[in-house]
Structure 1
Amino acid sequence: MRFFYTVCAVACASLTLSAPTQRKSYAGTKVYRIPTGNQEQTDQIANMITTLGVPTWKSAKVAFSHVDVEVSKDRLKAFHDALKQISPQLDSQLITMHDDLSVSIAKETEGMYNPFRDAFAGFANAAWFNNYHTYADHLTFLNDLASTFPNNAKVVTGGTSYEGRPITGINIFGSSGSGTKPAIIFHGTVHAREWITTMVTEHVAYSLLSNYTTSTTIKSYVDKYDFYIFPVVNPDGFVYTQTTERLWRKNRQPPPSGTCYGRDINRNWPWKWDVAGGAAAGDSPENKGLAAFINAKANSAAGAKLYVDWHSYGLYFMGPYGYSCSANAADKTEHTTLEQGFAAAFKAPYGKTLKTGPICSTIYQVSGGSVDYAYDVSKIKYSFTPELRGGSSGSGFVLPPAEILPSGIEAYEGVKYLLANMV
């Protein structure tokens, strides 16, 4: 985690307080996967990345793993020279994830502004999952869901962003009506660049609603729980990725001082917080609204049963804790069973294997994280976070549209396992 924060500090040092006015160009930018050897070499690679200030897509916690980095064309020579100094073999072992990131982004978004490749206006249908969409179209889709399935869905709001956008979600409910059953809460796109989580959470919502009248099993789940699915909990950052900087991660809240623009919403929850998560614990408007919504459901008569914070990428399904690798959740045994069951169900359609376990010991330490907050503060017994697929060809955050539907299908299988096995 120190590695992540150091890279963040280097990146932030080059920013100004004013937001860029032009779309960032990724022309000639390459994304590489660096295989890591022993711990000494892993540390050398981490130091090299910090020195060069290249953005990290995926960091290595332990030896004999890999690091994914984004290298702009003006830093390519320095990057390759530095890598060869660590080991001449390393440079030849690089895996190219994106040979030209701008080309990959163009392919990712080619259907986004084409109405002939979109879902039919006013009616939610499966064609939606053929390509990615603008933020405005996502809001329309949620409203279309509520209009298409008026007896089982309505649009809800879980707070307001720094720039004043509502954090919009869909409430899915059964025959007893809204607000009468234990809550299940899903968050997507807390990190703005993780577009696949927007589509996956919407796919879960669409699948539950479209199968309610045809599947007795799905009907039993929807009748048993109240679902609150928020596909984009970081709307400002999400819009920014679509208009200005595709790989932006945080919200768009300016700092009180310094040059590190934005808050990482998943480091800002007011529990086991660290200074890297903002100026103060829970100081982002997004966190304030989301925490209030979660706690209102958790403290209601019906309570809250499940919280899932969807992320990409890396293929993980994890539970508490993130803040400590030595602390154990009181429900760890049950969490382990559910994590492994989710992973088995997730694997069934396409063979994707998930690593499971507590966040800290499985991937890295996370302070001020949502899962720990939901579990310890909101007392939601089942609190998890997946890291979805990064593409069969190693696409990472810039996942081709062809992988949207498979991502949704495998995630939905995992969700159905949880719904069938939570007690």
Structure 2
Amino acid sequence: MKSLLLISLLLADALSFVVPRAGQEVDYSGFKALRLKLSEQSEDIEAQIEELAAHVLNPGRSELLDVVVAPENVDAVTALAAESTVITEDVGAAFKEETLATKDEVSVAAVPSETWFTAYHPYADHITFLRDLQSGFTSQSEIITTGTSVQGRTLTGIHIWGSGGKGSKPAVLFHGTVHAREWISTMTVEYMAWQLLTKYSTNSTVKAMVDKFDFYIIPIVNPDGFVYSQTTDRLWRKNRQTVSGNSCVGRDINRNWPYKWEVTGGASTNPCSETYKGQAAGDSPENKGLVAHVNSLRDSKGLTLYIDFHSYGQYILWPYGYNCNVVVDNDAQHRSLATRAASAIRAVSGTRYTIGPACSTLYATTGDSTDYTDAVGQSTYSYTYELRDTGNYGFTLPASQIQPTIRETWEGVVSMVRDA
């Protein structure tokens, strides 16, 4: 297996006003990352900021906005805010400081070592990682596919089982990298698969987990966007689906699920927005495949636990996103599992997570994965993890933080699986 580029991704969730020329990578030299406190919650002010900013990193938040701004727009943006703080002085310089890993040749089909989790990697290497991992444990795992992307890439994952054989237990489902630049989510989801397979024969806790559930793990559910973030615009969030009659590209796959998609206030109808919901519920090909997979798990042995891994903010959230006044039937049980998971994470390295229902704890979202997996997929528990950090690095989380992040998150996930 090959380990190529070590790339520490940067910041972003935003409007698509930074448009590269064909074949040319976006240059963020001199761009600043700012945290803005608004004097009032005004849609007009927020709209003006979005027009001026290259990217809004945390769309949906209104009291504090993290934005990336071109040098010529910094004064205009800060004038609209009550307070502004510089998070990153020069976004382009931060990219240039990222270290490139030397090409490390490893024997093909060897089970990947834990050193994989010390660097960020190109898309093709992630597919090789999954196949190499599965090839070492052919009696209790298989490569699975859950549809294709706009550009024809297969959504590739791994299915892991224990005693009782393939497909004999209720499902646990993990998704990663629905938002292209959230590279730490890719590494975290892959670590779940690596731990479950490599520790099954030696760790009683892992064995109990794998014998209790069938695990379905898909580290990159937005492959086109992920590749684009590596080759052209590191701040890219959405998929790469075009909109007829519009020059803006991409749907937010996590605003496209066909449950409460039509509700207003939790996504955008503007194709240029990073939270663009699409023209119809479930109209992204990636979402079609994910929906079909969730439904098939529901109709088989059932879905017990779903986790959608994102960054950043350090949150554990559960349904609902579409309405802050509606709570899931087993809200108390969701809170109990999340409380124990947050404690398990904190016990590893002191990292603190905020927990709560998605809408009231963070912001409104419509057509999102956890609402769908709960209400339609009938998952007993559905969560979003927003991984490290709280904004100091944001999407530029250094490679040195990969292992601390995946290890603490693993303990949180173990806690949830044990108690589910």
Equivalent residues of 1:29, 1:100 under 8 A apart: yes
Q: Give the secondary structure class of the aligned counterpart of 2:210.
A: helix
Q: In the alignment, residue 388 of structure 2 is paired with which amino acid? A: R
Give 1:42 shift: 7.7
Match of 1:102 in 2: 92
Match of 1:244 in 2: 232
Over 3 Å counting, the alpha-carbon distance change for 1:60 and 1:261 in structure 2 is closer
Equivalent residues of 2:53, 2:68 under 8 A apart: no
Q: Give the secondary structure class of the aligned counterpart of 1:384.
A: strand
Q: Find the aligned partners of 2:88 and 2:53 in 1 and give their Cα distance.
A: 19
Q: Find the aligned partners of 1:260 and 1:40 in 2 and give their Cα distance.
A: 29
Q: Find the aligned partners of 1:258 and 1:342 in 2 and give their Cα distance.
A: 43
Q: Give the secondary structure class of the aligned counterpart of 1:397.
A: helix
Match of 1:420 in 2: 418
Give 1:350 shift: 1.3
Q: Give the secondary structure class of the aligned counterpart of 2:246.
A: coil
Q: Give the secondary structure class of the aligned counterpart of 1:245.
A: coil
Match of 1:57 in 2: 57
Over 3 Å counting, the alpha-carbon distance change for 1:364 and 1:179 in structure 2 is same
**Which stretch shows the higher mean deviation, 224-233 or 97-106?**
97-106
Give 1:125 shift: 0.8
Give 1:333 shift: 1.1
Give 1:226 shift: 0.6
Match of 2:248 in 1: 260
Q: In the alignment, residue 293 of structure 1 is paired with which amino acid? A: H
Match of 1:324 in 2: 323
Give 1:281 shift: 0.3
Over 3 Å counting, the alpha-carbon distance change for 1:44 and 1:410 in structure 2 is farther
Give 1:375 shift: 0.4
Q: In the alignment, residue 26 of structure 2 is paired with which amino acid? A: K
Equivalent residues of 1:108, 1:132 under 8 A apart: no
Equivalent residues of 1:107, 1:400 under 8 A apart: no
1:149 aligned residue (134, 137, 159)? 137
Equivalent residues of 2:53, 2:73 under 8 A apart: no
Equivalent residues of 1:186, 1:310 under 8 A apart: yes
- List per-residue Cα deviations over 1:297-319 (Å, max 9, x = no partner): 1101x221111111100010010
**Which sections of structure 1, spanning at least 5 residues, go unmatched?**
1-6
Match of 1:405 in 2: 403
Match of 1:139 in 2: 127
Equivalent residues of 1:190, 1:266 under 8 A apart: yes
Match of 2:148 in 1: 160
Q: Find the aligned partners of 1:19 and 1:327 in 2 and give their Cα distance.
A: 45
Over 3 Å counting, the alpha-carbon distance change for 1:267 and 1:43 in structure 2 is closer
Q: In the alignment, residue 28 of structure 1 is paired with which amino acid? A: G
- List per-residue Cα deviations over 1:57-76 (Å, max 9, x = no partner): 1257465xx32111122323
Give 1:130 shift: 0.8
- Give % identity: 44
Equivalent residues of 2:186, 2:219 under 8 A apart: yes
Match of 1:293 in 2: 293
Calculate the TM-score normalised by the size of structure 1: 0.87
Alpha-carbon RMSD across the aligned residues, in angstroms, is: 2.3
Q: Give the secondary structure class of the aligned counterpart of 1:348.
A: helix
Over 3 Å counting, the alpha-carbon distance change for 1:352 and 1:60 in structure 2 is farther
Q: Give the secondary structure class of the aligned counterpart of 1:260.
A: strand
**Which stretch shows the higher mean deviation, 285-294 or 144-153?**
144-153
Structure with the bigger RCO (C-alpha within 8 Å, sep 6+) is 2
Match of 1:174 in 2: 162
Q: Which has the higher helix share?
A: 1
Give 1:102 shift: 2.2
Give 1:201 shift: 0.4
1:211 aligned residue (199, 213, 223)? 199
Q: In the alignment, residue 97 of structure 1 is paired with which amino acid? A: I
Over 3 Å counting, the alpha-carbon distance change for 1:59 and 1:162 in structure 2 is closer
Match of 2:25 in 1: 23
**Which stretch shows the higher mean deviation, 149-158 or 204-213?**
149-158
- List per-residue Cα deviations over 1:82-139 (Å, max 9, x = no partner): 25xx55xx35xx1x3322222322344522xx223x7665321100011000000000
Calculate the TM-score normalised by the size of structure 2: 0.88
- List per-residue Cα deviations over 1:120-178 (Å, max 9, x = no partner): 65321100011000000000000111012223222111111111000000111113222
Q: Find the aligned partners of 2:306 and 2:103 in 1 and give their Cα distance.
A: 34
Q: Give the secondary structure class of the aligned counterpart of 2:173.
A: strand
Over 3 Å counting, the alpha-carbon distance change for 1:109 and 1:187 in structure 2 is farther
Q: Find the aligned partners of 1:226 and 1:309 in 2 and give their Cα distance.
A: 17
Over 3 Å counting, the alpha-carbon distance change for 1:106 and 1:200 in structure 2 is farther
Give 1:257 shift: 2.9
- List per-residue Cα deviations over 1:273-323 (Å, max 9, x = no partner): 0444101000010000011011111101x2211111111000100100001
Equivalent residues of 1:267, 1:366 under 8 A apart: yes
Match of 1:233 in 2: 221
Q: In the alignment, residue 375 of structure 2 is paired with which amino acid? A: D
**Which sections of structure 2, spanning at least 5 residues, go unmatched?**
1-12, 263-268, 270-275
- List per-residue Cα deviations over 1:179-207 (Å, max 9, x = no partner): 11111110000000111100000111111
Q: Find the aligned partners of 1:119 and 1:107 in 2 and give their Cα distance.
A: 26
Match of 2:109 in 1: 122
Over 3 Å counting, the alpha-carbon distance change for 1:355 and 1:144 in structure 2 is same
Q: Find the aligned partners of 1:50 and 1:201 in 2 and give their Cα distance.
A: 31
Q: Give the secondary structure class of the aligned counterpart of 1:419.
A: helix
Q: In the alignment, residue 417 of structure 1 is paired with which amino acid? A: S
Over 3 Å counting, the alpha-carbon distance change for 1:97 and 1:256 in structure 2 is same
Match of 1:273 in 2: 261
Q: Find the aligned partners of 2:27 and 2:18 in 1 and give their Cα distance.
A: 16
| Count of aligned positions | 395
Over 3 Å counting, the alpha-carbon distance change for 1:60 and 1:233 in structure 2 is closer
Match of 1:224 in 2: 212
